[in-house]
């Protein structure tokens, strides 16, 4: 039996970052060079964007792939953010990453899906964050396990971090699937039901794995009233050293953001009423089934 987590969470409005309609974080999968991250940030700044992302240490499935430029890239990332006046974010997977990021003045950390899957790793990060006031984004674990996701959120919150955001990036599957990581929407939706104050955004790039469906996925997340998006954007996607197929150009990003349709302003207010109506319909069907099945199956043997 899972217990309801008791968290102290700051709403997005208290993060000190200007969020217009949605929290939009964009940037390359990996920081590759000083020029690449600067060029991407400058081009991105022509569009609506809240923060610039860029991976410094990359968790690769097989050894021998590009594993990130390492700590020297933190200065390039921070410089790029300063050049466009935006906060920067990167992934921290262990305590030494946290220390390097804090030293370099990184504004937001995120915990990647592989790390969220491992409570020892999350606890190590939480311990390194004790006494620090920095926003932390927590991606869902690789496997569809809501308790594991909530556990990671709790560990970081217990360390005193109150600016926490959950990121839905889909779930790993064995069999070939339309998506790189399946978006099992009922899991983030259940997370929102359990932790209604926790900001929740979607990463359609890692869900899709290719550019093709990112727009549709992003729109779906907005329709589900997610608080924002994390999207991989590179100044020259074909040349990128990781996740080349799923990165957008800044121009494609701008088009996507401008195409997004938001629910009407009375949407969130209307939604509970619609849910109540659906609940009634489901209850009626449940009732019918309960009264219909025993007779039909003759389970009592009478
Ligand atoms: C990333 O965002 O760069 C990343 C590695 O994502 P994930 O942890 O979702 O795989
Ligand atoms: Mn990536």
Q: What pLDDT is stored for residue 292 in this prediction?
A: 56
In a domain? residue 10: no
CB 48 within 8 A of CB 88: no
Q: What pLDDT is stored for residue 300 in this prediction?
A: 47
User: Which residue's alpha carbon is nearest to atom 6 within ligand 1?
Assistant: 112
- Beta-bridge partner residues of 109: 90, 136
**Mutation test residue for ligand 1: of 203, 207, 244, the one with most atoms within 8 Å of CB:** 203
Cα 255–chain centre separation: 21
CB 80 within 8 A of CB 87: no
Ligand nearest to the CA of 245: 2
C-alpha distances in Å from residue 195, one per residue of 86, 109, 156, 167: 28, 20, 15, 13
C-alpha distances in Å from residue 139, one per residue of 43, 167, 204: 26, 4, 12
pLDDT tens-digit readout, 173-188: 988 788 999 999 999 9
Ligand nearest to the CA of 91: 1
pLDDT tens-digit readout, 267-294: 555 556 667 667 776 876 776 666 655 5
In a domain? residue 285: no
Residue 115 burial (CB count, 10 A): 25
Burial class from Cβ neighbours inside 10 Å (0-12, 13-18, 19+) for residue 236 reads middle
* DSSP label of 249: P
In a domain? residue 135: yes
User: Which residue's alpha carbon is nearest to atom 9 within ligand 1?
Assistant: 113
Structure token pair of residue 131: 């006494």
- Strands (DSSP E) found in 72-178: 88-91, 108-111, 136-139, 164-168
In a domain? residue 62: yes
> What's the number of domains the chain is made of?
1
In a domain? residue 42: yes
In a domain? residue 215: yes
Give the residue numbers spanning the domain of 79.
Answer: 17-264
Q: What pLDDT is stored for residue 294 in this prediction?
A: 52
Ligand nearest to the CA of 60: 1
- Strands (DSSP E) found in the chain: 23-27, 51-53, 88-91, 108-111, 136-139, 164-168, 200-202, 228-232
Distance from C-alpha of 244 to C-alpha of 209, rounded to nearest angstrom:
9
Q: What pLDDT is stored for residue 269 in this prediction?
A: 52
Ligand 1 interacting residues, C-beta cut-off 6 A: 29, 55, 59, 91, 112-114, 139, 169, 206
Q: Residue 254 belongs to a domain with what CATH number? A: 3.20.20.70
C-alpha distances in Å from residue 258, one per residue of 48, 187, 226, 254: 9, 28, 17, 6
In a domain? residue 292: no
Instruction: Show the low-confidence residues of the chain (pLDDT under 70).
Output: 1-2, 264-274, 276-277, 281, 284, 287-302
User: Which residue's alpha carbon is nearest to atom 10 within ligand 1?
Assistant: 113
Distance from C-alpha of 155 to C-alpha of 141, rounded to nearest angstrom:
14
In a domain? residue 98: yes
Cα 229–chain centre separation: 7
């Amino acid at each position: 039996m899972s217990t309801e987590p008791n968290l102290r969470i700051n709403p997005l409005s208290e993060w000190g970052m200007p969020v217009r309609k949605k929290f939009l974080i964009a940037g390359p999968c990996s920081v590759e060079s000083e020029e690449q991250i600067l060029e991407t940030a400058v081009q991105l700044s022509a569009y609506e964007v809240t923060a610039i992302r860029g991976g410094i240490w990359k968790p690769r499935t097989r050894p021998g792939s590009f594993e990130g430029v390492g700590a020297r890239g933190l200065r390039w990332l921070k410089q790029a953010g300063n050049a466009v006046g935006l906060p920067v974010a990167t992934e921290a997977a262990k305590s030494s990453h946290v220390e390097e990021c804090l030293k370099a003045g990184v504004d937001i950390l995120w915990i990647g899906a592989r790390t969220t899957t491992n409570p020892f790793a999350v606890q190590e990060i939480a311990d390194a964050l004790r006494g620090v006031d920095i926003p932390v984004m927590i991606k869902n674990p690789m496997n569809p396990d809501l308790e594991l996701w909530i556990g990671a959120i709790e560990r970081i919150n217990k360390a005193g971090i109150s600016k926490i955001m959950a990121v839905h990036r889909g779930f790993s599957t064995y069999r070939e699937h339309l998506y790189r990581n399946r978006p099992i929407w009922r899991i983030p939706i259940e997370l929102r039901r359990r932790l209604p104050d926790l900001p929740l955004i979607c990463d359609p790039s890692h869900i899709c794995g290719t550019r093709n469906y990112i727009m549709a996925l992003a729109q779906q997340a907005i329709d589900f009233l997610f608080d924002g998006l994390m999207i991989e954007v590179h100044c020259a996607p074909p040349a990128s050293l990781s996740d080349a197929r799923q990165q957008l150009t800044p121009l494609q990003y701008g088009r996507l953001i401008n195409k997004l349709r938001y629910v009407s302003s009375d949407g969130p207010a209307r939604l509970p009423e619609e849910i109540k109506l659906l609940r009634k319909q489901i209850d009626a069907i449940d009732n019918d089934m309960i009264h219909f099945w025993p007779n039909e199956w003759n389970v009592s043997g009478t």
